[in-house]
Amino acid sequence: MPSKNICVLVSYESGNFNEYWEGNYLRKNASIGTLSRKTIITMAAIGINKDLNAYISLPYIKTASSEPNGGHFAGAKGLQDIAIAFKYRTIEKTLNSGDLSLFTTLSFATPSSNYLSDYMPYSIGLGTSEFGIREIAKFQFKNGFYAQAMVGYFWRGYTEAER
């Protein structure tokens, strides 16, 4: 993103499921029926200079059962985890056969509200902080084709069971 530019994104996602994997076994949500999850993500990307961008995001999530379950499960809604990230272009080099770019991304996310993390599958998040570092390499050939590779490490904290 060019320096001193800001890009704002508002995204909406909706999904339903009535099965989930537990190890090698595909389970059916017999007691809760079909679960629905709706997400509104707001994000801003800011060009700090020609090589450094900052990102901040905050999702709002609502979960519910789309089938009657006797009132046992109410679903959850609220703000999930606020995330901030910095992406830096460490290398930009033109070679005989194309252009090489290398990017480093540092990210941090933490819960922005006091939601129940162990209320799965209704929980709106994992309820823990996360730190990540990622390295992205891209080679753009002169004929238009490109190759891209990524390696990263993510550390996630621990959450507490409310029961």
pLDDT tens string 17-28: 888 777 788 888
CA distances from 58 to 9, 39, 132 (A): 11, 10, 17
The pair of three-digit structure tokens given for residue 121, joined into one six-digit string: 């599958």
Evaluate if residue 66 carries a pLDDT over 80: no
Round to whole Å and give the CA distance between 70 and 45: 44
Residues 106-162 have pLDDT tens digits of 999 999 998 888 877 788 988 999 999 999 999 999 998 999 999 999 999 988 777
DSSP at 33: -
User: Is the pLDDT confidence value at 71 over 60?
Assistant: no
Instruction: Identify which of 67, 71, 74, 77 has the alpha carbon closest to the alpha carbon of residue 16.
Output: 67
Rounded Cα–Cα distance for residues 163 and 160 (Å):
9
Tens-place pLDDT, residues 74-122: 788 999 999 999 999 999 999 999 999 999 999 999 999 988 888 777 8
Confidence (pLDDT) at 72: 62
Give residue for tokens 């009657």.
68
